[in-house]
Chain A
Amino acid sequence: MSIWFAQFAVDRWRLSNGFRRGEGADAAPTVLIAETAHGPRIAAANDAGRAAGARAGMMLADARTLCPAIAVAPSDPAGDLAFLEKLALWAQRWGPWSALDPPDGLVVDVTAVAHLFGGERRLIADARAAIAARDLNARLAIAPTAGAAWALAHYGPDGAILGPDNDAAMRLAELPVAALRLDPDVLTVLRRLGLKRLGELGGVGRDALQRRFRNRKSPSANPLVRMDQLLGRVPEPLLPVVPQDIPLVERRLLEPIRHRELLDQVLRDLAADMTRELEGRGEGARRLELGLWRVDGEVIIRALELSASTRDPAHICRLFGAKLDGVDAGFGIELLRLRASWVEPLALGQRDIESAAESHGTSLNACIDRLTVRLGPQAVRRPVPHASHVPERAQRWQPPLEPEPATQGELAFHQRPLKLLDRPEAIAVLYATPDGYPRSFRWRGAVREVVKVEGPERIAPEWWRERSSARLRDYYRIEDEKGRRYWIYRHGLAGDERGDLPLWYLHGLYG
């Protein structure tokens, strides 16, 4: 079943302001406008507005010349979509699942459902009554495929029913080609070709149309695909709307609280409630948001992200404890609300028998959470390999408990330094051998003699992502007279025409 709310935006504007149809401000010509680069443009117009000559898509200035008394209200596409989502869930009273058909329609699956309402005719009557009770303006149709139902709802007679026994092609032949849900430019092409009705598409010959639209793969750009979907020859997947409720617990307080001990007590109660809520669903929280509503209307939000899903109230309280230090209670806090905006499945486990982490140590998850909350997520990380041969790009950092990305095996014949400097430090070469490596150099103010050396290991820049003037590096593993081992490189070659004489850098330290 397809439901088309023909004047969805206007209806929503009317309902949100509390008017009946044709009464109050709705009796005057009114348009909803959207701001565009060329000025306000009309998104929708009410009945009186349309009677006065305003049309959707018109510039407001043009409509004002037709009817100077026209009233204006802003349109709200995001709000309309949210309202449509709510309606989609509400429409699941007529079928097991429903899908959105933005901007202003719904599709409800009523397969093998109609007999519960006493037949398709009564089902449509029931739906029309329920929609009319909400004071919405809708057109309904039932058909074997979503495409046919959409076409009938938009362009067929109101309340049309296409049964499985009817000849769909014949019933739909008189509808305009716009009923195929095609893009405007495709409709223009079809109009220029002289194809105005669905029946005429069959008269041309499928091969000719196939050739004309052979490189249009998207269904909304190819009338043949849309026609097949309409007649049920190819499947058309729809995305059902699944309701999802977020675990939320709250405490409304009789007496606003101003002191930290009371706040901690309420937080403990909330955490216990949240634990019970999550336990019932078999889930654990990854992100928690605590909202504090003050008497004077201010809202303070404190959010918490956890490295692994948890529902341990003591852990949650402890982590929030650090976040609540700077809260300004003002004249008091009267409402606290804790919601878990990101949850993950967490199987029920045995209660922590070793109750005291004090004597048995904390788990790794708890340890990481405590470190992250105090030091920040950027401070606690794990190095993971990355597919690159440039040393500093061959390692990346990620949150410590996430799974490692898949990588190829590492080459074992290079010896890499234990530690890498964040930024290679320039060294002054005092004397270089004819072979190319330095015999003595100065780094951090001290002169070092090179005693042992291995190299060069030439590492070329990644030409597919760097500029063409990036220079190669020749790495040497060296040991100085006291046995200190370093990883140094020469940046570029003498004659590579990519800059001045090459400089030397110290990049890593061996253990």
Chain B
Amino acid sequence: MLHPAVHSPETPPLAVTGEGAAALLRTRLPRWRPGLAAPAHSEVFASGDQASGAGLALALARDALKAAGRSGPAQEDRRQLLWVQDRAAVRLTGRPYRHGLPPELRHRLIHVEAQTPEDALFALEEGLRCRDLAFVLGEIAGNPRALDFTASRRLSLAAEKHGVPLWLVRLEAQPELSSARMRWKVAAAPSAPARWNAAAPGHPAWYAELFRARSHPHGEWSLSDDGNSLAAARPHNSPERAAAPDHVDLVRAVCGRSLAAL
């Protein structure tokens, strides 16, 4: 377990400025790893011909819930989860299927099918304002005009104010300006062979690239979810493979800071 006395610098030193300094600073931040508390607003970019976006968002959300539950009292979480899709997202990747969801989430899902991206954003914001939700998962296809920086910042502020994390899956979208605290790019990865049948697909696996984060350096991981926990490994073709030592996460992550604090 990490020692609480070791603390990362929350504010940058005043002397260093500029892009190079920011890059330098980022290398001193703790590397992301599973089991850390999640920021209030994350985005996952995925292509529309696979369910990797929703799969990774669910895996990350469950991982964050587990991390948050470790410190709190050990009791069953009965809060609901809100899954909002706009119509284009439903057409691209279908609706959630109860029998394929993780078992502890099956009876807790409330699904919202919005006709337009505007309605989806309204539903997301209403969900973030609700204190009885565990987290909100959104799926929006493309780059709709309604989802600009203002809308994204509204979502971030609502999520931070009420403490309900938002995982927004962007299908077939360009990473435009956004106020999300962590932004992931995900693609499906070949899975490890299943335990009992070497020819069968195994546990879900993804290549995930963290390309923007407030509290972690950028990086790539090969993630896999075996149903209980999220496991991370260095991808085989990573450019950073020789650049940095693997375990640099000596301090606890600092996240969830308000936008105004920067």
Contact = CB atoms under 8 A, between A and B. Distances in A.
Interface of A: 357, 359-364, 366-368, 370-371, 374-375, 378-385, 391, 394-395, 397, 400, 404, 410, 414-422, 443-444, 446, 451-454, 477-479, 481-485, 508-511
A382 B109 contact: yes
A368 B82 CA distance: 10
In the complex, which range does the number of interface residues on chain B fall in? 35 or more
A419 B199 contact: no
Interface string B178-213: 000000000111110110010111001100000000
B99 A385 contact: yes
Contact of A482 (B90, B114, B190, B193): B190
A371 B112 contact: yes
Nearest to A383: B98
A481 B52 CA distance: 15
B201 A395 contact: no
22 contacts: A357-B129, A361-B162, A363-B130, A363-B132, A375-B114, A375-B115, A378-B113, A379-B112, A381-B110, A381-B111, A383-B96, A384-B98, A418-B96, A419-B95, A420-B97, A454-B194, A479-B201, A483-B187, A483-B205, A484-B50, A511-B58, A511-B225
Contact of A478 (B113, B127, B197, B201): B201
Contacts of A367: 126-127, 129-130, 132-133
Interface of B: 49-52, 54-56, 58-59, 80, 90-91, 93-101, 107, 109-115, 119, 122-123, 126-127, 129-133, 161-162, 164, 187-191, 193-194, 197, 199-201, 204-205, 225
Contact of A410 (B95, B99, B191, B199): B99
A418 B127 contact: no
Contacts of A368: 110
Given A385-B99, A453-B200, A477-B200, A417 B51 contact: yes
B199 A454 contact: yes
Given A359-B161, A485-B201, 19 more contacts: A357-B129, A361-B164, A362-B130, A395-B98, A397-B111, A404-B107, A416-B100, A417-B100, A422-B90, A422-B94, A422-B95, A453-B199, A453-B200, A454-B194, A454-B199, A479-B191, A483-B189, A483-B205, A511-B55
B119 A374 contact: yes
A475 to B, nearest CB: 13
B113 A379 contact: yes
